[in-house]
Amino acid sequence: MTNALEIEGLTKTYGSGFEALKGIDLQVAQGDFFALLGPNGAGKSTTLGIVCSLVTKSAGKVSVFGYDIDTHLSDAKLHLGVVPQEFNFNQFEKVFDIVTIQAGYYGIPLKKAAVSAEKYLKKLGLWDKRNTPARMLSGGMKRRLMIARALVHEPKLLILDEPTAGVDIELRRSMWSFLEEMNRQGTTIILTTHYLEEAEALCRNIAIIDHGRIIRNTSKRELLQQLSLETFLLDSDAALERAPELDGFSCRLDDEGVLEVDVHKRQVLNDVFIQLQQQGIKVVSMRTKANRLEELFIRMVEQNEPAAEAVTEGRK
């Protein structure tokens, strides 16, 4: 089956001489929910910008559902929906007009566009605001408006660049469910995000980009399996004065009196509870400390740092 997105040897050097992409290869299968992660300035937005024709590439090949953007750009664009990182609609236009005008650019007549706009504005909770000028919307509403606009022509590949940046937790969760529903219905989704919890919750496959190179491209499951150490937070029924001694485990009390226990991959969590019980400590609740993916991400980017610096040094 043709991949939803194929990138081969993609490079981008800006006019200033900054080398944003240094030869990226990436494949995203149809129906995937894919995350492109990386620190600020790693090349995520440049990569997606090239796919969406907002940035011109220096070299390499990009194809969307088999359509090469060099030779079949119009066909490639028909399959793409884009939600950029920053608000990029006319702030003076009304919500409904923004969505239907976008449909018009895809050659969809107004009557049909109005039906599609109603469908997505309702799904995203913006139907009541359809006659409101976009500048009057809250930040979260503006983000949802950009999603409705990106979907109005029913694209097969939806690209979201930091879709939930600055959005409160409740709204973020509702946007997650919406995106999951879109993905279940067959839309391939690629997102970049700084909320690694978001990537962990939504995505099946993940690529990590740093200094313009893909440093990891694998399934989320495989990535998480690399975690050798996990920290658990345990709440006891009574306040503890000091951390108990646990044989084989590193254990400490945090500032709020919560017990932090490091459990290695080869260790058994049950041993922690047995030892605590022996010391008369009852655990009433438990949770993992850090976002697992975040931990891995930081480690990988840190590992990549010296190599990347060496490359930069070498080119100076």
Partner 1 sequence: MSAHALFTAYITIVLREIRRFTRIWPQTLLPPAVTMTLYFIIFGNLIGSRIGEMGGFDYMSFIVPGLIMMAVITSSYANVVSSFFSMKFQRSVEELLVSPVPNWIILAGYVTGGMARGLGIGVIVTLLSLAFTRLQIHNLPMVVVTVFLTSALFSVGGFINALLATKFDDVSIVPTFVLTPLTYLGGVFYSIDLLPEFWQGVSMINPILYMVNGFRFGILGVSDVNPFVSLGMILSFIAVLSFIALKLLARGKGIRH
State the Cα angle at 50 between 44 and 52, rounded to 5°. 105
Contact 4, 65 (CB under 8 A): yes
- For residue 119, which of 130, 109, 108, 133 has the smallest C-alpha distance? 130
Tell me which residue of 198, 119, 202 sits closest to 153, measured CA to CA. Answer: 119
Q: Which of 226, 192, 225, 220 has the alpha carbon at shortest distance from 206?
A: 220
Q: What count of Cα atoms within 13 Å lies in the side-chain half-sphere of residue 237?
A: 7
Cα angle: 177, vertex 182, 188; to 5 degrees: 120
Kindly determine how many residues on this chain lie close enough to bind partner 1 according to the rule CB under 8 A. 32
137 binds partner 1 (CB under 8 A): no
Cβ-based nearer residue to partner 1, 190 or 215: 190
**Binding residue for partner 1, selected from 24, 36, 82, 263, defined by CB under 8 A:** 82
Candidate segments 34-42, 88-96, 171-179, 278-286, binder of partner 1 by CB under 8 A: 88-96
Which CB, 32 or 97, lies closer to partner 1?
97
212 binds partner 1 (CB under 8 A): no
Query: Using the rule CB under 8 A, is 64 a contact of partner 1?
Result: no
Nearest alpha-carbon partner for 53 in 26, 31, 82: 82
53, 231, 267, 291: which one contacts partner 1 (CB under 8 A)? 53
Stretch that binds partner 1, among 3-11, 94-102, 166-174, 220-228 (CB under 8 A): 94-102
Q: Using CB under 8 A, which of 106, 127, 178, 232 touches partner 1?
A: 106
Q: Interface residues with partner 1 (CB under 8 A)?
A: 14, 49, 52-56, 73-75, 77-78, 80, 82, 84, 86-92, 97, 101-102, 104-109, 149
